[in-house]
Amino acid sequence: MVMAHDVHIIGGGLAGSEAAWQLARRGLRVRLSEMRGAGEEHGGGLTPAHHTDGLAELVCSNSFRSDDDEKNAVGLLHHEMRRLGSLVMQAGETARVPAGSAMAVDRDAFSHAVTRALEEHPNVTVVRERVDVLPDAGLTIIATGPLTAAALANSIGRATGAESLAFFDAIAPIVHRDSIDMSIAWLQSRWNKSAGGADADGPGDYINCPMNQEQYLAFHRGLIEGEKTTFREWEANTPYFEGCMPVEVMAERGEDTLRYGPMKPVGLDNPHDPTPEFPQGRWPYAVVQLRQDNKLGTLWNMVGFQTKLKHGEQVRLFRTIPGLENAEFARLGGLHRNTFLNSPRLLDRQLRLKAAPHIRFAGQITGCEGYVESAAIGLLAGMMAAAETGGQDWSPPPRTSAMGALLAHITGDAEAADYQPMNVNFGLFPPLPEVKKKARKEAYTGRAKAEFGTWLAEREAVPA
């Protein structure tokens, strides 16, 4: 018999499992609906990437990435999650396998530990069923991940407006602003027009990296010849828009296609290349443009550069772009099937759907990316729902912490117009320009730990 519940969680992956744990340990009753392991009569089935009916199955690599909490943003996220009694981190520790400074796990042992902890918890009922429509009422957390089953995705699409639900992330590489060489690149909007069409008063909205003909032709060849990853069968069958076309596919259409597309140089005067005739600077042969990606201005994305080039190949080729010779990438490009919401537009600061606030979203469907990030957002969603049920105020973790920075990005600080999934990285943290670059990572983690500690000390004590 299924007991009455306080919160209904749909999706027993990384985020849903962590959210369930956080609620259960605070004494709230949870119904956790997971379609894997359900009989046919309950719409059971696997996703195209899952192979088992275990909760929190890792669908690809077995790594939680770096465990270094001094110099790495994801390591810092591990640290904060541990301090909040994360089930994913506890089960990860139980299932840990040697991986140097990274945290890797035995995937079966990990999923088994999560499943057992939740199935044995008196406050959790794991129900093997597929849910096809958003519930009309009752506190709900949707954590159905990047491969949300089709009927529920349609229901979410109806509630949010179909254009707010993406099925692909066509990701262009994102570069740390302070690694761009501005003695070669420059800031300017095309024809000095700002995004709204008015004449720009300021220096312009785009960072422009100029190429001469020789550089462009070599780059064009590099795009065509570079090693690519291939679509999985189920990805190839998911339709995607023309706007998601990989840059190398565009390059294959002709030598000049890019120069008439994302690499168009017209209206861009290179101030590093003035002549008596063009004292403001000449137009280059081709240009790579970067647009600001977060409100802090620390991250910039390469406009139109979504790509299926292998990661190593991207780093090598994109560092041949003038101005990006020493570029540090906050994330590289990619094109994957991935169901996610335009969260900055749709969700409030507590991950609630503004149009239906009894529904919260958690995990990768909110537009975070990665196992650990998904679990972290699940953890926060669980804490928020627990506070809401108990009528308590909930204050988010400080913006300077890994959890606070990721949450702020998803719930409003990212640019909604071209929102794309994001890993945790130091570019999401409020900058510390006064600290020398070499010491900055430790400065970020030091500040985060201190402020996170203060926030934690002000919170209720929860049994382990």
Binding site for ligand FAD (CB under 6 A): 10-16, 33-36, 47, 49-50, 59-61, 130-131, 143-149, 152, 363-365, 370-371, 374
Q: Which amino acid is at 46?
A: L
Selection from 244, 248, 250 nearest residue 170 by Cα: 244
What order do you get walking across the sheet with 206-211 strand by strand?
A: 186-187, 206-211, 286-292, 299-302, 174-176, 329-331
Instruction: Give the torsion sign (CA, 183, 306, 313, 48).
Output: positive
Q: Which residue is nearest to ligand FAD (CB)?
A: 13
Phi/psi-derived region of residue 155, left when phi > 0, alpha when psi is between -120 and 50, beta in every other case: alpha
* Shortest distance, position 41 Cβ to ligand FAD, whole Å: 14
* Shortest distance, position 216 Cβ to ligand FAD, whole Å: 34
- Separation CA 424–CA 429 (nearest Å): 9
Q: Are strands 356-361 and 140-142 parallel, antiparallel or unpaired?
A: parallel
Longest Cα pair distance anywhere in the chain, in angstroms?
84
- Cβ closest to ligand FAD, residue 131 vs residue 223: 131
A 10 A CB-CB count for 159 gives 16
- Cβ closest to ligand FAD, residue 33 vs residue 400: 33
Q: Is residue 338 packed enough to be buried (19+ CB in 10 Å), middle (13-18) or exposed (0-12)?
A: buried
* Shortest distance, position 145 Cβ to ligand FAD, whole Å: 2
Selection from 416, 262, 245 nearest residue 333 by Cα: 245
* Shortest distance, position 207 Cβ to ligand FAD, whole Å: 29
A 10 A CB-CB count for 408 gives 24
* Shortest distance, position 25 Cβ to ligand FAD, whole Å: 19
- Separation CA 206–CA 198 (nearest Å): 15
Residue whose structure tokens are 């402020």: 451
The DSSP secondary-structure symbol of 52 reads S
- Cβ closest to ligand FAD, residue 303 vs residue 356: 356
* Shortest distance, position 163 Cβ to ligand FAD, whole Å: 21
* Shortest distance, position 172 Cβ to ligand FAD, whole Å: 18
- Separation CA 365–CA 163 (nearest Å): 15
- Cβ closest to ligand FAD, residue 105 vs residue 288: 105
- Cβ closest to ligand FAD, residue 199 vs residue 233: 233
A 10 A CB-CB count for 181 gives 13
* Shortest distance, position 73 Cβ to ligand FAD, whole Å: 13
- Cβ closest to ligand FAD, residue 46 vs residue 435: 46
* Shortest distance, position 383 Cβ to ligand FAD, whole Å: 16
- Cβ closest to ligand FAD, residue 20 vs residue 172: 20
The DSSP secondary-structure symbol of 171 reads E
- Cβ closest to ligand FAD, residue 49 vs residue 315: 49
Tell me if residue 343 falls in helix, strand or coil.
helix
Count of residues in the chain: 464
Q: Is residue 413 packed enough to be buried (19+ CB in 10 Å), middle (13-18) or exposed (0-12)?
A: middle
Instruction: Give the torsion sign (CA, 211, 213, 218, 220).
Output: positive
- Cβ closest to ligand FAD, residue 173 vs residue 363: 363
* Shortest distance, position 339 Cβ to ligand FAD, whole Å: 9
Tokens at residue 333, please?
């490009």
- Cβ closest to ligand FAD, residue 36 vs residue 440: 36
- Cβ closest to ligand FAD, residue 307 vs residue 364: 364
* Shortest distance, position 234 Cβ to ligand FAD, whole Å: 9
